[in-house]
Amino acid sequence: MAIKVVQIIARMNVGGPAVIVADLMRGLDPAKFEQTLITGYCADNEADYLETVATDVKATRIGGLGRSISLAADAKAFFALIALIKRERPDVIHTHTAKAGVLGRLAAILAGGNAVRIHTFHGHLLHGYFAGWKVKLVIEIEKFLATKTDYLIAVGNQVKDDLLAAGIGRPEQFRTFFPGLPDPVADTFEESRKALGLDLDKTYCTFVGRLTQIKRPDRLLDVAKACIARGLDLNFLVAGEGELFEASQQRAIEENLPVTFLGWRKDIDQLFAASDIAILTSDNEGIPLTLIQAAQAGLPIVATNVGSIKDIVIDGETGFLTSTQAGAMASALSALVTDIDLRDNLGMAGRAHAKKYFSLAKSLQDHSDLYNYSQNQ
């Protein structure tokens, strides 16, 4: 008999958690796992992954389950979750992201039944998202919820270490799962450049991500400015949208920076295939899927040394991990722009590392094994 799994996530906005959940819905054997996806709605300035990419994945939508906090809407979503859990009577309730983790696990408790509760921490919840007393409140909430959760999944080793250091969960509850992606499908370097209208003779550094404060697009522009000061002939491509899109684009125009804003893109594999270097300027990350994609494309990566990025970028071997200073990032880029052999060697090492640790098959097997194991305890 198939194991009934309910996946709960606040919203399926384009990003790592949505990709992972969609891959679980698509990739797990339907003869062994009967899955239901419950999610909310994206904000107006967010691209919905289910509407733009994973159009084949079906979901039950609950109003109020999205990211924004509203007492009335959250209460309505909470009781809707209880009703759905009672109706589905799942064997496993797997929650993803912070808000869905709170509402989903509390709803699972009140709905009754014997469902195994699993929660995935996709990023560094305690760094960069909340300040002051809010961090302390989040820690206390997560400490309590961990006592009501059977298994905790951390996307990255540093994510797990930070949670345990804060007193959230017990070591034996945790599993560290790396996200996995299928092999990229893209044209050759020359074909990709031609398809995207990029100059064959220029050097391109590509940023892919939401243009939000945590991703620090302002730092990216500072890096571009620092590269100009160093005399580097480097062009930046930015793929993504978010609340800082217009302000970032306007600043780039006003300061005459070599940065092209592409908006949200479906063709990330082709974009990376046409690029020379990948960059990420975040204040906080779990394991960014965009960096896995970049590594799969054979690109050296320059990234801030935050969160679990070090699980994908090995400093000096597959790219460079730097401080959050724009000058440090520009120096790393300078080394790659001026040394093509270094660029190629780091990129090849990164591709091999991604193939070994970040395959979709491994991610699906990790989840399948945990779901099966949970039913035999």
- Does domain 189-357 fall under CATH 3.40.50.2000? My reply is yes
Spatial CA neighbour of 258 closest among 295, 230, 283: 230
Pseudo-torsion of CA 80, 83, 86, 89, nearest 10°?
-40
pLDDT, residue 286, reads 85
**Can you give the pLDDT at residue 52?**
92
Report CA torsion sign: 356, 360, 365, 367.
Answer: positive
User: Is the backbone of residue 306 left (phi > 0), alpha (psi -120 to 50) or beta?
Assistant: beta
Q: Distance between CA atoms of 362 and 137, rounded to whole angstroms?
A: 35
Domain ranges of the chain: 3-180+359-374, 189-357
User: Token pair of 336, please?
Assistant: 């790659």
C-alpha distances (whole Å) from 67 to each of 12, 203, 221 are 10, 38, 27
Q: Is 70 helix (H, G, I), strand (E, B) or coil?
A: coil
> Is the predicted pLDDT of residue 376 greater than 80, yes or no?
yes
Instruction: Give 374's contacts (C-beta < 8 A, 6+ positions apart).
Output: 92, 116, 118, 150, 151
- Residue 169 DSSP one-character state: S
Rounded to whole angstroms, how far apart are CA atoms 65 and 76?
A: 9
Helix or strand run (H / E) with residue 368: helix 360-374
Q: How far is CA 289 from CA 98, 294, 301, in A?
A: 19, 9, 13
Per-residue DSSP letter, 34 = E
Contacts of 348 (CB under 8 A, 6+ apart): 298
Percent of the chain residues topping a pLDDT of 90: 88
Q: Which residue has the higher pLDDT, 135 or 283?
A: 283
Q: Is the pLDDT of residue 333 over 70?
A: yes
Would you give the DSSP letter of residue 2? P
What is the reported pLDDT for 229? 97
pLDDT confidence of 130, banded at 50, 70, 90?
low
* Tokens matching residue 66: 């999205």
Query: What is the pLDDT of the chain when averaged over all its residues?
Result: 95
CA atoms of 348 and 327, how far apart (whole Å)? 26
pTM across the whole model: 0.85
Contact status, residue 54 vs residue 77, Cβ threshold 8 Å = no
Question: What value, to the nearest 5°, has the Cα angle with vertex 164 and ends 23 and 114?
Answer: 55
Q: Which residue has the higher pLDDT, 250 or 132?
A: 250
305 φψ region: left (φ > 0), alpha (ψ -120 to 50), beta (else): beta
Q: The domain 3-180+359-374 is classified under which CATH number: 1.10.3210.10, 3.40.50.1000, 3.40.50.2000, 3.40.50.300?
A: 3.40.50.2000
pLDDT at 125 over 80: no
> What three-state secondary structure class fits 37?
strand
Instruction: For 63-116, write each residue's pLDDT tens digit.
Output: 999 877 888 999 999 999 999 999 999 999 999 999 999 999 999 999 999 999
Q: Are 8 and 39 in contact, with CB atoms under 8 Å apart?
A: yes
Let me know: does 332 contact 180? Beta carbons within 8 Å. Answer: no
Alpha carbons 232 and 225: distance in angstroms, whole number: 10
What HEC string does 262-323 produce? Answer: EECCCCHHHHHHCCCEEEECCCCCCCCHHHHHHHHCCCCEEEECCCCHHHCCCECCCEEEEC
Find out whether 17 and 40 touch, Cβ atoms under 8 Å. Answer: no
pLDDT in tens, 206-238: 999 999 999 999 999 999 999 999 999 999 999
pLDDT at 126 over 80: no
* Helices and strands (H and E) in the chain: how many: 14, 13
Reading the block at residue 189, the tokens are 């370097």
Radius of gyration of the chain (CA): 21
- Per the CB < 8 A criterion, the answer to whether 180 and 359 are in contact is yes
| Paired residues of 236 in beta bridges | 205, 259
